[in-house]
Amino acid sequence: MSVLVLNADFTPLTVCTTERAFLLMYLDKADMVSDVKNKRLRTVQNSFPYPSVIKIRQYIHVPYKSVVLTRHNVFKRDNHSCQYCGSNKDLTLDHLIPKSKGGKSTWTNLVTACKNCNAQKGNYAPEEVGLQLAKKPIRPSYVMFLRFSSKLLCEDWIPYLEHKVSA
Ligand SMILES: [Zn+2]
């Protein structure tokens, strides 16, 4: 089980293991913000709530961590599905504004598309050939990417991750 670690100002910092979260709290470096319902850690004399979100006491200045723009990471952002038809087969990258029309390889101009949709789109804008995007492509922040990466997304994390989404 992973624990979401918030900075002293409640912005998401990273994700750590339960063991690490217990250690940070034990050392008085972090406080529990939210715990896992119906789960306690039992020792001989005590029982402790299981942390799902913790907040560190001392603000840590972190430089903005950006996610590297790669084919793999665009697929990951788009949940490995074609952004036009939802297929998860024969995926490729599609330039919304075609390269031939000056479209750049950027987070906001690249989407995951299957080979069929990509061929159908050709050198046109999606709306010109009747294709509709599932969602507007955005540049993911590092923390948002943790969310994409985490299969075991804890519901308690969502409020803290959502306000951090940057376009
Ligand atoms: Zn498709």
- Does the pLDDT of residue 166 top 60, yes or no? no
- Does the pLDDT of residue 8 top 50, yes or no? yes
In whole numbers, what is the pLDDT of the chain averaged over residues?
Answer: 86
Say how many Å lie between the CA of residue 166 and the centre of ligand 1: 26
Say how many Å lie between the CA of residue 86 and the centre of ligand 1: 6
Say how many Å lie between the CA of residue 87 and the centre of ligand 1: 5
How would residue 167 be classed by pLDDT, with cut points 50, 70 and 90? very low
β-bridge pairing 47-56 and 2-6: parallel
Say how many Å lie between the CA of residue 82 and the centre of ligand 1: 5
Which residues have their alpha-adjacent CB atom under 5 A from ion ligand 1?
A: 82, 84-85, 87, 114, 117
Say how many Å lie between the CA of residue 146 and the centre of ligand 1: 26
pLDDT tens across 43-68, in order?
888 888 999 999 999 988 766 667 88
Say how many Å lie between the CA of residue 84 and the centre of ligand 1: 5
pLDDT attached to residue 165: 43
* CATH 1.10.30.50 domain range(s) in the chain: 71-129
User: Class assignment of domain 71-129?
Assistant: mainly alpha
- Does the pLDDT of residue 164 top 50, yes or no? no
